[in-house]
Every structure is written in structure tokens, then in C-alpha cells.
Chains A and B, each alone.
Chain A
């Protein structure tokens, strides 16, 4: 079997592989000679890290899953100013967490090439918002590069490093879900082997200490660098013009939107020249000026905010170019969600005037299938127990402040145990506020990774301010939602090396939480006891609900070949329906009026067999 990773390792210039853009970016980091790479896992950027954790070591690259994005960017920055090429990558909202250092890193500048990758998520396939991180390039005053496909993702990354080094600035490398998660053919390139493995930090207090007096001059230097970069953008091959037909219209586009535009042009044979932008801050002012002068009718196709459009309208105004510009500001394109060839064709047809037929709109009343907690997921058991405990204690107005992770799915029926979910760590942060402002009991649900990421400061805050909250840490020993990456609670790190495992209960005790309990959520009886006890407390309580993620357990079971499943004894089943109505494991379903368990889905956790779920003891191990 030829493993992709081996191919990535051995691949020479001529090798062509079928890669996700994220995998191509990992390979690009290797080719660029990156020595330090950091991340906090977040979809749609996660596969960059998953790939690096397999190949980094062999190329002398140090790669880590950092505790959060702020630490990740600071780590990468220190590497860069010590003379090593470094890269940090994260999902769009991760850059919010890292934004504090990011702004100042632009001021100080970098030494060896440093690239900050942000993977945005238009249409919010796995995110809480669809903020357009291109604005960060303006906010920080840094160059920005946007690839459209896997080949560009790899090739542009190399150019990003060269630019960063030339101008001593971090470069923002922005992808979106449809780019990061697009798989296509990628021709590999040469791997740089001439760069040092170890860095040396040469001191200069005027350069790296952001005291107001230093920052005052650093800001001026930063603006000089950015002005110098304008010509660079105008001469870059990442910005190019493609001719189609007579070029009656001019279309300016970038990123994933470029692909949709091209698919529409090919399908309908449209008469339009394309200015494809890959280097989007600063914009190539001369190229754009020329393009809009030559076309007069110019259409700007970009996803989310009118980022390019506002700037292009400014360029037209500054150079007194008389052109009709179509975009979002005049209502032709939407400012929400990703574009598809269909939506782009629709908007273009209104401007250019050609006929598009819409696809049929589905009329079937199909049951929805949102993502659900896996069969055997320890979170289901924990939610089930908490719901019962709250009922037993007669606290129906209990507030559930939830957080980011698989357990966010607890918002759905029948658990309904997520009343708020805003950002990483916000469960405990908001619990502080609820405890101050209401007489309701408040439970904060937070996962282990999220706790390490940003749950500790608000826990300390609650202890310090003597608030009454119950924090339940759903500790499944991994960063599950993004694909089971390790976190500081585990016994190994990103490279698979052993590392000390940090116990959440130790952290809780050390910051002064008196009431700390550890439970196994599979044991409903003990869990109920612990939760009801904690609900009676009137200070900070922490329950660590510890049980391995079912996916990890499955992997182990498949290795050992011991696959246990459960079944329903129809003679004993009392048809109380509790297992489907209230526990709702996806392996349990109803057929011909009988409760059944799908053996292909059942994970053998055995929780449904406990008397708290099945009072008739009808669920047993399948023989």
C-alpha cells in the first residue's frame, strides 16, 4: 500500500498527488523550510496539522498543537525572530484569539519568514460565525495572499514566505472552507534544505519591545513597508488577467469565488476577461486601474464582505476612472454565505443578461439529520445524567452555559442542555455573569481542550469573586470535533512523543475549588449521585466527567477485534420508549413497532442497558 504520507515525504519535483489544499499547505511548509509550526486545531484548517504531525519530524520541523491560538502565534513569532521560518495556522475565529499579539507583531516585524494562515468558513459549516478575516490584513497592515485551489495553496505559500522575509512582515494567508477542503492535483516542488535547524536570537530592544515610545516609530516603519509592497503586488504573478471571448465585461475575483466564476464562464461561454487576484493586500493598484479603464463594465465577485469592491471603487475614484462597477454595494451579490456556480450564474445573469435555469427546489418533507453525538459518546451519558439530576433536584430553571466542541450538539432534542454558546471558554465566563445576575443555578459545560484553551481564567474569576457555579468538564481525552488531536491532558503530543498529562482536577483544586469530583459518565448511578451533590453546593464546584471519546475507543476495538454490541430482548421490552425519547442513541431505532439496535452502529458502551435508561432490563449484550 502506498501511503499518502510516504508519497509526500518521498515526492520530488515531478510527483503529482491528489491532495486537499490543507495537505498541500503542509507540504508547502516543508518545501519552504519551515522549522517551527504551531496551531490550535479548528475546522477548516485542521488537516494542515494532522498532516504535519505525521511528516514534520522527518523534515526537522518542530510542530506543536498549542494550548490556544494566542500561544501558537507567539511561539511562531519567537521562532521567526530567532532566525527560523515559522508558520501558524488556525480557523478564522482563532485569529480573534491571536489578534492581540498579531497586531503588535506587524509593528515589530519579523526576521525569518512567518506566515499566519486563517481558514475562514463562509456558510458556517463548522463555525459560530462567518467573519471575513480579510479585514485583519487591513487592521494589522500586513500583506495578504489568497489561493483558489490546492496547487496554488502550496505554490503561493512559498511566495508568502519570500515576501515575508523580504519585507520583514508576517503574511496573512487566507483560505476558506471550499479551498481548504478542495481536493485536486498538486505537482510537488523542491524542498529547501539550506535553512538552519536551530536559531539564535540577536537582541534589539528597539525592535521587539512594544513600549509606546518604540511603537511610535515602529508604526511609521510599518506603513513605509506597506507602501513599498504596492509595487510588489502589481508585479506579482499571483495577480493575473485571463481573456475569454472579446472581453466585453471585466470580472475581478479571488479565492473560491474565482472557481465558481470560471465554472460559469465555461458553462455559458461568457464574454468576459477575468482579473484573478491572489495577492490581495495591498491590491495591485496599477493592474486594477488599467483593467477597469479597459473594460468600463466591471463586475466584482467575492464572497462575504465587499472587501475588494470598496477598495476598487476607491481606486476608480482616485484615478477618476469612469467605469460602471457592479458588486455587493449595489445589491447584485449577497454579503452572506459562500457562492456556488449557481448563485454566481444567477447574479451574473442579471448584469450581463443571459438566461439561467434554476435547479428544482426540493418539495419533499424529509426528516432533518443534523450531526449527532456518536453512538457510545460519553457526552450523551453525561447530558442524560445531568438532565435527570436537575429534575430530581427540582431546578427546572437551571441555566446551561455551553461551549465549543462536539458537546455543543447537546443543544438539540432531547437533551436541550445548551442555552448559550458564543466562543471558546465562554461557558465558564458567562456562568460568572449568570451567577452574579440571577438566582438560577448555572451549569457550565466545557470540554477538556476548551478548558485548557480558555476555561482556566474564568474559573479563577469565579473562585476569586466567590460565585456559585457548577462547572462540568466533559473530558474525553482529545480534541474530538476537529479530528481527535491531542491536548495537554493526554500522555502524548503532536508528534506522538510522550509528554506529561495535566489533570484538570489538579488545576481546579490548585486554583482554590474546594468541591472537585471525578466521575465516569458511563456509570449513571454514580454520576447522578455526584451531580445532585454538586447542585446543592453554593460555591464553585467542578465535576470532571472523564471517559474516552467513542471514536478513539472504536479505533482500539477495531485493532483488538473485540467488538461488543447490544440488542433488545423483545420479550422483556416494556415499550416505555425512554431509550429513544430521552436517551436517543442513534443506534437505537423503531421498526414494526419494536425497539431495535443497529449492530453496525452500536458501539457497545452499554449505557442504554443500565436501569436508569432501560428500567425493564431488556437491553443486553448480543451473543
Chain B
């Protein structure tokens, strides 16, 4: 039975955990088994954060590093941090928002060059770059960037959940204007990715 493993990586405060929970809840709505890991580091914000979502016949919350189906990176450096140590055919969605670590700015340095990083990883799959913050703002709030990313993942086609499952998960979590913003964000994200990969088949 195929399982689906994804890693969501970003910086504390970007809505990484919420994104993981939304996808998990959508998978539950699709009748699938899900486990998710949440690691709360030392401080509330600003450090690297990653969440793993595993769907299907799985036990623990940690994905084997050669079995990752999708990396959803909310920040370039954090995307590469994960990407460089997993199977090279993992699909990659990357939010372009650059957050300069203070370890860089403190030394009067600037953010590393993204194209150079891309050229240095041995990923065999295309890295979809998405301006999720800008799209989120268009949807009504930059805070909905995480849902833009989920929308893009939906269009990528490999998530074992569909648009209705995600919409239902959003309805459970938000009301009123916030719900509208998030549904809009999902739709904007969906329009960002057109090439579709094969869906990972996970049987309930």
C-alpha cells in the first residue's frame, strides 16, 4: 500500500503547523489515516520549523528520508535545508519569500543567491517557485500565504486529497471574512501550478 509523505519547512510564524494540520484534516475527510509531527523548538518564532505529514498505512510521524513525496518550503533556505537530504525525486514547491537569518545580517551579509542554491542541489524534479506572500496579500492577507501553498500543492496533483477536502477543512477552521480570504488564497495558489503530476494513490 502506497503511503504519502510530505515535509513542510519554514520559519516559525509562517503558518507551517497550520498548513500541516489543514492538509491532515483534509486527508481525514478523504477517509485516510494521517499522522503528523509537530516539533516546538525553543522560541516562539524565527527559528527553522518543520512539520511532517504522513498519510496512509503509517505508524510514526517521521518520514524515511528516501521516501519523501512532496516538500512544501515556505522559505528558500529552509526548503534547501530539507531538499538536500532527501530522495532527489521529491516534488518541490517553494515560496519565494526570503527571510534573512540574523546569522547573515549580523555579519553585514545579504541573503544567499537562490539560483545558485538551485544549481547546487541534485534534485531531479522541477522546483516550483511561488510568490505565496504576494498572492496571499491579493487574497486579502499575507497571512494566508500558507493556504496559497496548499492550493499550489493541489494543482500539482500528487496530494491524496482534493479541493473539496481542503475547502471542508478550511470551513471547519475559519468563518466569515477569514474563510473567504483563505478560500481565495487556495484558488490563487491552484492557478500557479499547471503541470500536473500523477496523484499518489493511498488506499483508505
Cβ contact of B60, chosen from A341, A364, A601, cutoff 8 A: A341
Cβ contact of A357, chosen from B66, B106, B108, cutoff 8 A: B66
Cβ contact of A371, chosen from B41, B63, B85, B142, cutoff 8 A: B41
Of B73-81, B153-161, B196-204, the one with at least 4 CB within 8 A of chain A: B73-81
Once the chains are docked, how many angstroms separate the CA of A357 from the CA of B89? 15
Q: Residues of B contacting A185 with CB < 8 Å?
A: 28, 33-34
Once the chains are docked, how many angstroms separate the CA of A18 from the CA of B27? 11
Q: Are A590 and B100 in contact (CB under 8 A)?
A: yes
Binary contact track A544-584/B, C-beta < 8 Å → 1, others 0: 00000001000000000000000000000000010011001
Query: At the interface, yes or no: A35 with Cβ under 8 Å from chain B?
Result: no
Query: At the interface, yes or no: B61 with Cβ under 8 Å from chain A?
Result: yes
Instruction: Given A262-B60, A266-B59, A406-B43, decide whether A369 and B78 contact each other with a Cβ distance below 8 A.
Output: yes
A111 to chain B, nearest CB (A): 36
Q: Are A360 and B122 in contact (CB under 8 A)?
A: yes
Once the chains are docked, how many angstroms separate the CA of A222 from the CA of B174? 53
Query: At the interface, yes or no: B105 with Cβ under 8 Å from chain A?
Result: yes
Query: At the interface, yes or no: A373 with Cβ under 8 Å from chain B?
Result: yes
Among B13, B62, B133, which residue has the most Cβ atoms of chain A within 10 A? B62
Binary contact track B17-28/A, C-beta < 8 Å → 1, others 0: 000010011001
Q: Are B47 and A590 in contact (CB under 8 A)?
A: no
Q: Are A371 and B42 in contact (CB under 8 A)?
A: yes
Q: Are A364 and B120 in contact (CB under 8 A)?
A: yes
Q: Are A369 and B48 in contact (CB under 8 A)?
A: yes
Cβ contact of A590, chosen from B61, B66, B109, B172, cutoff 8 A: B109
Which residues, 163 to 177 on B, are CB-close (under 8 Å) to A?
A: 172-175
Of A51-59, A176-184, A192-200, the one with at least 4 CB within 8 A of chain B: A176-184
Query: At the interface, yes or no: A409 with Cβ under 8 Å from chain B?
Result: yes
A55 to chain B, nearest CB (A): 19
Q: Are B43 and A373 in contact (CB under 8 A)?
A: yes
Q: Residues of B contacting A370 with CB < 8 Å?
A: 42, 47-48, 103
Q: How many A-B residue pairs have CB under 8 A?
A: 206
Which residues, 380 to 411 on A, are CB-close (under 8 Å) to B?
A: 406, 408-409
Q: A482's closest neighbor in chain B, by CB?
A: B40
Q: Residues of A contacting B173 with CB < 8 Å?
A: 1
Q: Are B34 and A372 in contact (CB under 8 A)?
A: no
Q: Residues of A contacting B60 with CB < 8 Å?
A: 178, 182, 256, 259-260, 262-263, 341
Query: At the interface, yes or no: B67 with Cβ under 8 Å from chain A?
Result: yes
Q: Are A369 and B87 in contact (CB under 8 A)?
A: no
Q: Are A362 and B28 in contact (CB under 8 A)?
A: no
Query: At the interface, yes or no: B57 with Cβ under 8 Å from chain A?
Result: yes
Query: At the interface, yes or no: B121 with Cβ under 8 Å from chain A?
Result: yes
Instruction: Given A126-B42, A372-B102, A584-B106, decide whether A363 and B84 contact each other with a Cβ distance below 8 A.
Output: yes
Query: At the interface, yes or no: A586 with Cβ under 8 Å from chain B?
Result: yes
Q: Are B43 and A481 in contact (CB under 8 A)?
A: yes
Once the chains are docked, how many angstroms separate the CA of A341 from the CA of B87? 15
Once the chains are docked, how many angstroms separate the CA of A447 from the CA of B102? 24
Q: Are B36 and A371 in contact (CB under 8 A)?
A: no
Once the chains are docked, how many angstroms separate the CA of A44 from the CA of B41? 10
Q: Residues of A contacting B25 with CB < 8 Å?
A: 18
Which residues, 235 to 256 on A, are CB-close (under 8 Å) to B?
A: 256
Which residues, 204 to 263 on A, are CB-close (under 8 Å) to B?
A: 256, 258-260, 262-263
Q: Are A589 and B111 in contact (CB under 8 A)?
A: yes
Cβ contact of A182, chosen from B12, B33, B37, B77, cutoff 8 A: B37
Among B11, B43, B87, B117, which residue has the most Cβ atoms of chain A within 10 A? B43
Q: Are A178 and B61 in contact (CB under 8 A)?
A: yes
Q: Residues of B contacting A20 with CB < 8 Å?
A: 38
Once the chains are docked, how many angstroms separate the CA of A336 from the CA of B42? 20
Query: At the interface, yes or no: B191 with Cβ under 8 Å from chain A?
Result: no
Q: Are A359 and B66 in contact (CB under 8 A)?
A: yes
Q: Are B77 and A409 in contact (CB under 8 A)?
A: no
In the A-B complex, list the 9 residue pairs whose CB atoms are closest, starting with the nearest.
A259-B60, A371-B47, A359-B65, A362-B84, A371-B43, A589-B100, A262-B59, A372-B46, A259-B59
